[in-house]
C-alpha cells in the first residue's frame, strides 16, 4: 500500500506533483493548518505531514497520529512543532535549512535601504499628494559601519551583500573563527565594540536562552547615537519597548522589523512611530524561496517514506536501519558529549578533535561525528541538526578531525571529544555500558563514572573538605533533589570536579548561593535531551 501524505499548508503544485510522481498518495488540504480540531481528527490516516508555519503540531495532534512517521517543515523554523512529543512518538521531524537563506538576507538589506531613506513614509506622503521633498532627508549606506550579530548562513550572505555596497562590516558571533572572518572580509569584534561602532545593526541569530533580549535596554543604550536597528531574524531578540523609547528620544534614528515578540503582531510599541518600517514576517516570502523549500520537502519526505533515507532530520541521525540498532546508544552518547562541551564553551571554537577507541572505531564514524558536532553547535543554534551541523561548523572555520584506535583501556570502546579555542582546550570522554546507557567517564582528564540526566550541575573546586556537604546542603535548602552525585579529582588537594544529576532545574538562587560560598571556581547548569 502506498504511503499517504497530508499537506496542511499552502505548498506549490509542483511539490504536490512530486509526491504523486514518486508513487505517494497525497491530500492537499491547506485549510487544515488553521483548524486544529479537524487536523487532530484526520491526522491518524497519514504516514507523513508536510507543513509550513500555519500548522501547529501539538502533543494533542500527535496523540492521534497513529501512523505518522515523518513531519517535514518547508522552511527552517520548527517552533510550531512539539519536537519532544514527536520524538517520543517516534516521528521524524525534518526541515529545509538552506532553501530561503538568500531571500531572508535580501529582505534585511531591503529594510536597511527603506530605513535609511524613509521609503515607506515618503511613498505614503507622495501618494497623498503632499510632495514633502525636504521632510525625508536620508543617509547613504556607502562607507557606513554595519554591525552583524550572527554571521552564519544568512548573516554571512548579508555581510557579502553589504561589502558589495561598500559598507564597513563588523561581526559578532561566538562561533566565528578569525580565519573564517578573514575569508569573509569582515572584522570580528565583541558585542560591546559592535554596539559602540555600528551605524546599522542587523540580527541573524536564532532565539535561544543566550540570544534572547540580546539587544536589551542596557545594550541599546550603549549604541552609537543615530544607529538604525534591523531585525529580520526572530522576535524576542530586541527589547521592543526599550527600542521604542530610544526612537522617541532620538538616540536611535530608525528601525526595520520583520519579526516581533508576539506574532501575529496586532499591537506593538514600535507601531506608529516615525521611521520604523514593519513587515509581517516576510523574510522568506518570495516565490523562489517558497518553491525551493516546497520542492525540498517533497523530495525529502518521499525519500524517507519510500527508501528510509533520512535528510535534514532534527531528531534522528542519518544512518541505515541496520546501523541504528547497534549505533543508537553511541549516537546518543556522541550528542551528549558534544552538548556538554557546547554548553561549557562561550568563546569561538577553532577545532573539534574526536577520538574513537575500540568497538566504536569500526562504526559509521560519519554519523557519530555529525552527532557530536550537532551536540556542540546546538547550544547556540537549536535548529542545527546532524546533517547541517558539519556544514555550519565548516562555514564558521571550525576544523574537525577524527582519530580511531584499537581498544586501549578497560572499556570495550569509548569516545573522547576535545574542543580547541584561543583560550583553552576542553575534553570529555564517555562510553556505553552493557545496559545501553551512555556514561561520562572522563572530564578534563579526571576519571569519573557519571550517569547522564536531563538536568545536571557541574562544579569545579580545590580538593578540600566540606565541598560535598556544601553542595548537598545548598541543593536541599532550595528544594532540589539529587538523583546521583559523582566526584573526581586530579590528585589529593588538587583540582576536583562534581557532577550532580538532579530531578529539576537548579534555581538561580541556588547557583548564587554556591557562588557566594567562594568555594567553587566554576558552576554551570547543564541540560541534556534524555528520553
pLDDT, tens digit (0-9, with 9 covering 90-100), for 195-249: 999 999 999 998 888 899 999 999 999 999 999 999 999 999 999 999 999 999 9
Domain of residue 153, residue span? 101-278
Q: In the listed set 267, 300, 316, which residue is the last one of a domain according to the structure?
A: 316
Judgement on whether residues 265 and 139 belong to the same structural domain of the protein: yes
The per-residue pLDDT for range 155-182, each reduced to its tens digit, is 999 999 999 999 999 999 988 989 999 9
387: left (phi over 0), alpha (psi -120 to 50) or beta: alpha
Instruction: Note whether residue 160 is domain-resident.
Output: yes
Judgement on whether residues 148 and 241 belong to the same structural domain of the protein: yes
Of 88 and 154, more confident = 154
Q: Identify the pLDDT of residue 97.
A: 83
Measured CA distances, 125 to 119, 159, 256, 447 (Å): 10, 32, 19, 71
Judgement on whether residues 77 and 166 belong to the same structural domain of the protein: no
Instruction: Note whether residue 415 is domain-resident.
Output: no
pLDDT confidence band for 84 (50 / 70 / 90) = confident
Judgement on whether residues 87 and 113 belong to the same structural domain of the protein: no
Residue 278 has pLDDT above 60, yes or no: yes
Judgement on whether residues 173 and 110 belong to the same structural domain of the protein: yes
Mean pLDDT score of the chain: 92
User: Residue 411's closest CA among 350, 360, 377?
Assistant: 360
Instruction: Note whether residue 322 is domain-resident.
Output: no
By CB atoms closer than 10 A (0-12, 13-18, 19+), residue 64 is middle
Beta strands 227-231 and 252-257: pairing type? Answer: parallel
- The catalytically annotated residue of 281, 336, 396, 439 is 281
The per-residue pLDDT for range 496-505, each reduced to its tens digit, is 999 999 999 9
Of 319 and 488, more confident = 488
Judgement on whether residues 248 and 158 belong to the same structural domain of the protein: yes
62-82: average pLDDT: 92
The per-residue pLDDT for range 20-55, each reduced to its tens digit, is 999 999 999 999 999 999 999 999 999 999 999 899
User: Residue 417's closest CA among 460, 346, 360, 455?
Assistant: 360
Instruction: Note whether residue 456 is domain-resident.
Output: no
Residue 320 has pLDDT above 80, yes or no: no
Residue 409 has pLDDT above 90, yes or no: no
Judgement on whether residues 137 and 262 belong to the same structural domain of the protein: yes
To the query of whether residue 66 is one of the catalytic residues in this protein, the response is no
Look up cell 497530508; give the residue.
6
Judgement on whether residues 150 and 61 belong to the same structural domain of the protein: no
Cell numbers for 345, please give them. 564553551
Judgement on whether residues 194 and 125 belong to the same structural domain of the protein: yes
Judgement on whether residues 121 and 231 belong to the same structural domain of the protein: yes
CA-CA-CA-CA torsion sign (339, 345, 347, 352): negative
- The catalytically annotated residue of 22, 161, 234, 396 is 234
Residue spans of alpha helices (H) in 82-152: 83-89, 101-116, 119-127
Instruction: Note whether residue 51 is domain-resident.
Output: yes
To the query of whether residue 424 is one of the catalytic residues in this protein, the response is no
Q: In the listed set 299, 316, 333, which residue is the last one of a domain according to the structure?
A: 316
Judgement on whether residues 130 and 260 belong to the same structural domain of the protein: yes
To the query of whether residue 234 is one of the catalytic residues in this protein, the response is yes
Instruction: Note whether residue 44 is domain-resident.
Output: yes
* 383 within 8 A of 431, measured Cβ to Cβ: no
Instruction: Note whether residue 437 is domain-resident.
Output: no
pLDDT confidence band for 267 (50 / 70 / 90) = very high
Judgement on whether residues 250 and 304 belong to the same structural domain of the protein: no
The per-residue pLDDT for range 413-466, each reduced to its tens digit, is 999 999 999 888 999 999 999 888 999 999 988 999 999 999 999 999 998 899
Total domains present in the chain: 2
* 451 within 8 A of 501, measured Cβ to Cβ: yes
- The catalytically annotated residue of 192, 263, 288, 362 is 263
Beta strands 425-432 and 413-421: pairing type? Answer: antiparallel
Instruction: Note whether residue 393 is domain-resident.
Output: no
pLDDT confidence band for 319 (50 / 70 / 90) = low
CATH number, domain of 224, equals: 3.40.50.720
Amino acid at each position: 500500500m502506498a504511503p499517504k501524505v497530508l499537506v496542511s499548508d499552502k505548498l506549490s503544485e509542483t511539490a504536490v506533483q512530486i509526491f504523486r510522481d514518486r508513487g505517494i498518495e497525497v491530500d492537499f488540504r491547506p485549510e487544515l493548518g488553521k483548524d486544529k480540531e479537524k487536523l487532530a481528527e484526520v491526522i491518524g490516516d497519514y504516514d507523513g505531514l508536510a507543513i509550513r508555519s500555519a500548522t501547529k503540531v501539538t502533543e494533542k495532534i500527535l496523540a492521534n497520529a497513529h501512523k505518522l512517521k515523518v513531519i517535514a517543515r518547508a522552511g527552517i523554523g520548527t517552533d510550531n512543532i512539539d519536537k519532544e512529543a514527536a520524538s517520543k512518538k517516534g516521528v521524524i521531524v525534518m526541515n529545509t535549512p538552506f532553501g530561503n537563506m538568500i531571500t531572508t538576507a535580501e529582505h534585511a538589506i531591503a529594510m536597511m535601504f527603506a530605513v535609511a531613506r524613509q521609503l515607506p513614509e515618503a511613498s505614503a506622503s507622495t501618494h497623498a499628494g503632499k510632495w514633502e521633498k525636504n521632510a525625508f532627508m536620508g543617509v547613504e549606506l556607502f562607507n557606513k559601519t554595519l554591525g552583524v550579530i550572527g554571521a552564519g548562513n544568512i548573516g554571512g550572505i548579508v555581510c557579502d551583500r553589504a561589502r558589495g555596497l561598500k559598507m564597513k562590516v563588523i561581526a559578532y558571533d561566538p562561533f566565528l573563527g578569525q580565519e573564517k572572518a578573514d575569508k569573509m572580509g569582515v572584522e570580528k569584534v565583541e558585542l560591546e565594540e559592535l554596539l559602540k561602532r555600528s551605524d546599522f545593526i542587523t540580527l541573524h541569530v536564532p532565539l535561544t536562552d543566550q540570544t534572547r533580549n540580546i539587544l536589551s535596554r542596557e545594550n541599546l543604550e550603549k549604541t552609537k547615537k543615530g544607529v538604525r536597528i534591523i531585525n529580520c531574524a526572530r522576535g524576542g531578540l530586541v527589547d521592543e519597548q526599550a527600542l521604542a523609547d530610544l526612537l522617541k528620544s532620538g538616540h536611535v534614528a530608525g528601525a526595520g522589523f520583520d519579526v516581533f515578540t508576539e506574532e501575529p503582531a496586532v499591537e506593538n510599541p514600535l507601531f506608529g512611530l516615525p521611521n520604523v518600517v514593519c513587515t509581517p514576517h516576510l523574510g522568506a516570502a518570495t516565490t523562489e524561496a517558497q518553491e525551493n523549500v516546497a520542492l525540498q520537502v517533497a523530495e525529502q519526505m518521499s525519500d524517507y517514506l519510500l527508501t528510509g533515507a533520512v535528510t535534514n532530520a532534527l531528531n534522528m541521525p542519518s544512518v541505515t536501519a541496520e546501523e541504528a540498532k547497534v549505533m543508537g546508544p553511541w549516537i546518543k552518547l556522541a550528542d551528549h558529549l558534544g552538548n556538554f562541551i557546547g554548553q561549557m564553551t562561550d568563546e569561538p571554537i577553532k577545532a573539534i578533535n574526536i577520538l574513537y577507541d575500540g568497538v566504536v572505531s569500526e562504526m559509521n564514524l560519519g554519523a557519530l561525528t555529525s552527532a557530536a558536532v550537532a551536540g556542540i553547535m546546538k547550544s547556540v543554534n537549536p535548529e542545527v541538526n546532524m546533517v547541517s551541523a558539519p556544514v555550519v561548523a565548516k562555514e564558521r572555520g571550525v576544523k574537525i578531525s577524527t582519530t580511531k584506535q584499537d581498544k586501549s583501556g578497560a572499556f570495550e570502546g569509548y569516545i573522547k571529544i576535545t574542543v580547541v579555542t584561543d583560550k583553552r582546550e576542553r575534553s570529555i570522554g564517555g562510553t556505553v555500558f552493557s545496559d545501553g546507557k551512555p556514561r561520562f567517564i572522563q572530564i578534563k582528564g579526571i576519571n569519573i563514572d557519571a550517569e547522564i540526566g536531563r538536568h545536571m550541575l557541574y562544579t569545579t573546586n580545590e580538593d578540600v573538605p566540606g565541598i560535598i556537604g556544601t553542595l548537598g546542603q545548598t541543593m536541599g535548602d532550595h528544594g532540589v533533589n539529587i538523583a546521583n552525585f559523582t566526584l573526581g579529582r586530579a590528585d589529593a588537594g588538587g583540582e576536583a570536579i562534581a557532577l550532580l544529576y538532579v530531578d529539576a532545574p537548579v534555581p538561580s538562587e541556588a547557583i548564587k548561593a554556591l557562588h557566594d560560598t567562594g568555594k567553587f571556581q566554576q558552576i554551570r547548569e547543564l541540560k541534556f535531551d534524555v528520553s
